[in-house]
Structure 1
């Protein structure tokens, strides 16, 4: 079997930072040099070609335009490489993994996103092991999706979330089992992975200018704030509403329900109802407070993460119309991002 050759995007993040008087900051050229040393001392490390973004991106500065750049880089190099690794900051890593999962249609090769909580320049760190694992997962022959490699685990990209702010195992997959783990060797649970696609690979850009936002309900929230979002001109294209529990909101708030209904029915804003619980799913038929949102025209986000929900809105609303509209496709699993049962 010929040796695998990977294409690597180094976007930025903590993993390649060094201490400066202003705090930790990415240093151009540092991570590529360190990675070359890691490759030299690691048995069976795959060959790779690396593209370092300039400027490097602190993930807090990430924008949808960067997703387009990454998707375009993968598309341009798709035929020439066996897999792809994206080295990224952790704060918005789950958004990037989710966005790319939708943008890369009929993906027939692994795309593995990784980062670190502690940079390579400090010891001990999680950076070196995460890099080694990401490169090894990206050579797997039965992996056909965007994944996150972190803390010796492999997660579906659009099911991943950064759940802990300071732990080495910062990422979890609350509503879907992990796809693989490292226990002496790389164990991939193929039964949990997406099947090999039949169609031709295609990268779909998204429209970064789409007016899409999110809003999290909380006791005593000011409905006027939400109304200003919902009733703005031009109207919102999409909104992710993080509601309570199984998709509930205060059904006694007539002003809220009227604003939601006007937004969906008159302004044609696509409002996706997700739960703000870490784990669980939206069921708007279960409680009266949930069914009120269904009558107001909200679409169930099922058990999607808020990150995947936002990125799915960006993706669907950026595509040309078809027989099924975005509101019809939202409850359908496109890339394994939601459970249909």
Structure 2
């Protein structure tokens, strides 16, 4: 990833969503605060040796702690990115975001912005700008410099000098300068040869209802039905190991079969930090597939969640959604 391979960014739109990077003290603790553009401009002006592309700034509304991030806000972000690129002529977008759900948002945008030739980079910080030993300015400046050197089209996650593929990583630490890590996942799928028109970045999206449910010893049909009957269209089922679950529980398997018959798309990912799902290795996995569960291969929880939102929100029929779940769209299964 360098300027000899990819063109350098000429004009970057900075989208500020809130998050720790711009937080200031309030009577209830650190809270998102307006006015970050002036602070950013003052910092960059004080660092003449830092060569960054030209940039514009847009403050999203409302500013949020990323613990309050939602798929509805993702819609706002997607629309802001499309406006920055297709209307305002920016070739790159830098999104300032809180770290708690940054990996979810970056993965979701990877699927929401399929086909976009601009570069989108997410960053944030573990401590607010201006705090002692803060990582805010080094991450913001580093992300701008990375864009200025040239990045591949698509979505990136930048933190502490490292560029990560957002469909392959997660937040693994609540402290320090290296909260994000690429997960060593295995289990791929063939690359989708052609993407349906409905998944193009310019297409409007509907809000989908997707849930995540981790398996645990003793989980039964009652808990599963409670989630499946809540009106969801998709479920990321965090299974054991290579994709196993309580296969000797007929009521549990029947609940999964009812979900399939009711067009709820259930995708299995592994709870393990490394490896992936292969549903046919063990009988306890093959019975899940027999009940309609799809393999998430090596997808992370964040990638599977964002992928289901994009597929279900694109208005595709259930059969097409089920087909595309197990195909690689933007590196999530490669």
Query: Normalization by structure 2: what TM-score?
Result: 0.88
State how far apart, in whole Å, the 2-side matches of 1:2 and 1:13 are.
27
1:206 matched to 2:202? The reply is no
* Number of positions where the alignment pairs a residue of Structure 1 with one of Structure 2: 314
1:176, CA displacement in angstroms?
6.7
Between the two structures, name the one with larger relative contact order (CA 8 Å, sep ≥ 6).
2
1:301, CA displacement in angstroms?
0.4
State how far apart, in whole Å, the 2-side matches of 1:333 and 1:21 are.
47
1:148, CA displacement in angstroms?
0.5
Gaps of 5+ in 2: 1-6, 187-194
Quick check: 1:145–1:156 contact (8 Å CA) kept in 2? no
18 and 323 in structure 1: CA distance in 2 versus 1, 3 angstrom threshold: closer
Determine helix, strand or coil for the equivalent of 1:289: helix
Quick check: 1:238–1:270 contact (8 Å CA) kept in 2? yes
State the match for 1:33 in structure 2. 38
State the match for 2:152 in structure 1. 143
1:246-261 aligned at under 5 Å gives the runs 246-261=242-257
State the match for 1:106 in structure 2. 115
1:9 matched to 2:20? The reply is no
151 and 322 in structure 1: CA distance in 2 versus 1, 3 angstrom threshold: same
- Encode CA deviations 1:72-105: one digit per residue, 9 max, x unaligned: 1111121411211000011111111011111112
Determine helix, strand or coil for the equivalent of 2:61: coil
RMSD over equivalenced CA pairs, Å? 2.3
- Encode CA deviations 1:189-235: one digit per residue, 9 max, x unaligned: xxxxxxxx9x9973344322x332111001122431212222x27x5
State the match for 2:176 in structure 1. 167
3 and 165 in structure 1: CA distance in 2 versus 1, 3 angstrom threshold: closer
1:336 matched to 2:331? The reply is yes
State how far apart, in whole Å, the 1-side matches of 2:267 and 2:73 are.
24
- Find the partner of 2:129 among 109, 120, 135: 120
State the match for 2:76 in structure 1. 69
1:310-325 aligned at under 5 Å gives the runs 310-321=305-316, 325=320
State the match for 1:48 in structure 2. 55
State the match for 2:85 in structure 1. 78
Query: Normalization by structure 1: what TM-score?
Result: 0.86
- Find the partner of 2:66 among 59, 71, 74: 59
State how far apart, in whole Å, the 1-side matches of 2:316 and 2:60 are.
33
Gaps of 5+ in 1: 178-196
1:324, CA displacement in angstroms?
6.5
5 and 222 in structure 1: CA distance in 2 versus 1, 3 angstrom threshold: same
1:229 matched to 2:227? The reply is yes
Quick check: 2:257–2:292 contact (8 Å CA) kept in 1? yes
State how far apart, in whole Å, the 2-side matches of 1:3 and 1:166 are.
31
